[in-house]
Amino acid sequence: MQLWRRQENWKIGHGLRKRKGDEVDGMDEVAKKKSKKEKDRDSRLEKALKAQNELIWSIKDELKKVCSTNDLKELLIFNKQQVPSGESAILDRVADGMVFGALLPCEECSGQLVFKSDAYYCTGDVTAWTKCMVKTQTPSRKDWVTPKEFREISYLKKLKIKKQDRIFPPETSAPVVAAPPSTASAPAGVNSSTPPDKPLSNMKILTLGKLSRNKDEVKAMIEKLGGKLTGTANKASLCISTKKEVDKMSRKMEEVREAGIRVVSEDFLHDVSSSTKSLPDLLSAHLLAPWGAEVKAEPEEPAVSRAKSGSALSKKSKGPVKEEGINKSEKRMKLTLKGGAAVDPDSGLEHSAHVLEKGGKVFSATLGLVDIVKGTNSYYKLQLLEDDRESRYWIFRSWGRVGTVIGSNKLEQVPSKEDAIEHFMKLYEEKTGNAWHSKNFTKYPKKFYPLEIDYGQDEDAVKKLTVNPGTKSKLPKPVQELIKMIFDVESMKKAMVEYEIDLQKMPLGKLSKRQIQAAYSILSEVQQAVSQGSSDSQILDLSNRFYTLIPHDFGMKKPPLLNNADCVQAKVEMLDNLLDIEVAYSLLRGGSDDSSKDPIDVNYEKLKTDIKVVDRDSEEAETIRKYVKNTHATTHNAYDLEVVDIFRIEREGESQRYKPFRQLHNRRLLWHGSRATNFAGILSQGLRIAPPEAPVTGYMFGKGIYFADMVSKSANYCHASQADPVGLILLGEVALGNMYELKHASHISKLPKGKHSVKGLGKTTPDPSASITMDGVEVPLGTGVSSGVNDTCLLYNEYIIYDVAQVNLKYLLKLRFNFKTSLW
């Protein structure tokens, strides 16, 4: 039996007569139903607890009489116990040790365990990034020893206590008591019954068919996630069912189809509570039926006007806190650069002062601290400002929660430069635990970590290459438009915002390959920790490190734990995209600064790829359009594809690299889709395999380059939307050779002997009899037919190569997605 309950709520005293009306929520009825056996057990426990408490208090009373506070500290130190602050806490800890034995260090982190009413909690840290989460009612102990010099004290000399285990009161559900309204408990204007950050807030969910959980369990899960159950199709936002129920197509399911309600599997409920993927991504992953419109929450009733008070809180904390009137992707400050750093505009001194620079060191720091347990996602900025004309100095500080307007700042004038430097360095060391001039930074528990911040130094150079493009270019118009699309900085920022990356802490200019590779390494550790069932503390530590390295903007939400395979996969996908965005932005910043050239031509040259427009009336274009039309999968019916432009591409050096594989049999022209923001990286560096640091489980068939023979399977990876309906897709000649055929996920690290590629077998394949051959390369442009393979987890074929030299990119298509329903 678990004996957990706050001790102060347990009645031990005698003669406590119950007053009429003390019954709470029918607890008397429950008490009446208790068996005699349970009552006897409770009575024995109550007596034992009373005796235990009396013993502890008697020891504390005597110790107060015979020992000074310094004596008590000596007793703790001698028994290798940490000395807490405060007389009362010291007395409690000595009495605990005398009665139950000296606590041994935590087995996980070697920290000090401390008694807190319901258990012993570790106060240590697993690493410098993460607090230890150990909590136990049965800690390891050794005998408490009284030093020789203390045996002169009569009480301690006579005291003989048999070491015993601590008894804890039983855990009982506390009575439900209405909490008083509190301005701090919830942001003003938010309906407290369904917090806005719950994924299914204000949604009505219909369930159909036999699910693995009973109706009450499903209802509890849905309500926990902010939703409500409904029994009517035309009132539902979403339907949870089974594939069997969809195939059966009952009358109720027909109503769901007619109402255009999306149908997802029961697993969706589990994933939506734990995954970091967006709701549209999760819906797509668990979709059971081809129909369905965009899932929308019902509009929330306006909250009773607490927010009308005009208080600062109601202005700053309404719902998930955002900066009013600012698009999330545009909320980066424009800072005034002077010398090596920018003056924070919140100081009010950006036009009259500058950041002090001394000995090549700029006195400005931005610090970050993530602690998932506490829900911390904080920043701290520190600057030493010097007047532009006079000898006047200020220390400017600002602090708050990342991604919100919660926070404050302080501007402090300091008498002299020396005083200002001393004060700055003291504050820096106080916040980080490191000296300002220290060359090797060490992360300390509960201390901030310095972040690299881009103040826009590179933006002017980038703007030169993106302003007034096309005025001098000799490139064909479709190629010009393609280059503008590939190097669109706003699209890059938008992609980062979709991944909840904080653009103020990690703007485009500060994306670095080294940083991304370090983040991959952490994800590999997460994957290993999850698969080995490692402790919560280890997973917490890895999550804290990841979010500090790649700052995220979660607003008021707690940073989610990276504790399952889906989280790892979502973050791997994010880093894959960031690598290509980093390449694109690096290309934009680097290279020629020739003002005589058109910016488009400058960027085109950086791609090192020959791009030619294919005549839309040519046989070549007709074949490609046929390939698009015929291989659009029936289940991908949320959109139609329209070919806008076809480009023949030839990457510098790629044909030569591919030459040895031209002799390999089984070469096919296959599709590969990706976000438009990734194409500068793809064209300049080729399709690449995930780096060694990336976890292998982030990919269904291991780290390789993935292709498809159904256009829509690859088109889904373009991440087009109704707001942004144009995407880019590649056709590459792929040397497949002998294929290792698989029906289920297998994290391939090395191909079996004699195999050159992997084919994930799908249930549907392009009609083999309709395939054609172009220059010895098979083009599988037949319409989709059954492959005859039914015991596979894939609907459509996938082809994977593990050597970048096995692909020669041939065509790039610009596609317009004509949406019938929302995909993302």
Q: Is 323 a catalytic residue?
A: no
Residue 406 CB neighbours (<10 A): 17
- The dihedral through the CA atoms of 293, 294, 298, 299 has a sign that is negative
Residue 808's DSSP bridge partners are 733
For residues 819 and 640, give the distance between their C-alpha atoms in angstroms, rounded to a whole number.
Answer: 7
Long-range contacts of 746-752 (CB under 8 A, 24+ apart): 746/701, 746/702, 747/696, 747/697, 747/699, 747/701, 747/702, 748/701, 748/702, 748/704, 748/800, 748/802, 749/696, 749/702, 749/703, 751/802
**Residue type (1 letter), 62:** E
Measured in degrees and rounded to the nearest 5, phi and psi for residue 525 equal -65, -40
**Residue 462 tokens, joined:** 């980038």
CA distances from 1 to 121, 164, 171 (A): 20, 18, 10
How far apart CA 314 and CA 301 sit, in angstroms, is 18
CA distance 127 to 526: 15
Contact indicator for 545, 449 with CB cutoff of 8 Å: no
For residue 213, the 8-state DSSP code is S
Return the residue matching tokens 């996969």.
569
Query: In what helix (H) or strand (E) does residue 58 lie, and over which residues does it extend?
Result: helix 36-66
The pair of structure tokens assigned to 272 is: 């939506």
Tokens of 94: 């000595």
815 three-class SS = strand
Which pair of tokens denotes residue 532?
């080995």
Q: Residue 342: which region, alpha, beta or left (left: phi > 0; alpha: psi -120 to 50)?
A: beta
Q: Is 689 exposed, middle or buried (0-12, 13-18, 19+ CB in 10 A)?
A: middle
Cβ contact 785:745 at 8 Å: no
User: Would you state the structure tokens that stand for residue 813, as one six-digit string?
Assistant: 């298509």
- Listed in sequence order, the residues at least 6 apart from 508 whose beta carbon sits closer than 8 Å to its beta carbon are 454, 489, 492, 493, 496, 581, 585
Strands 639-651 and 609-613: antiparallel
Q: Give 559-617 as a 3 state SS string.
A: CCCCCCHHHHHHHHHHHHHHHHHHHHHHHHHCCCCCCCCCHHHHHHHHCCEEEEECCCC
> Cα dist. 204→65, 254, 277, 624 in Å?
65, 18, 21, 44
Site of tokens 């020789």? 148
CB-based contact 190:23 (threshold 8 Å): no
Q: What six digits make up the tokens of 267?
A: 């697993």
Strand partners, 798: 760
C-alpha 81: how far from its chain's center? 38
- Quickly tell me which residue has 């952490």 as its tokens: 522
As a whole number of angstroms, the distance between CA 282 and CA 278 comes to 6
Tokens of 416: 């002299």
The single-letter DSSP state of residue 557 is: S
**Could you identify the residue written with the tokens 């806190």?**
321
Side chain identity at residue 525, one-letter code: E
Element (H, E) at 89: helix 87-100
Which among 386, 459, 525, 798 is annotated as catalytic?
A: 798
Q: How far is CA 636 from CA 249, 400, 561, 789, 822, in A?
A: 20, 44, 32, 20, 12
Q: What are phi and psi of 624, to 5 degrees?
A: -65, -40
Catalytic residue ranges: 798
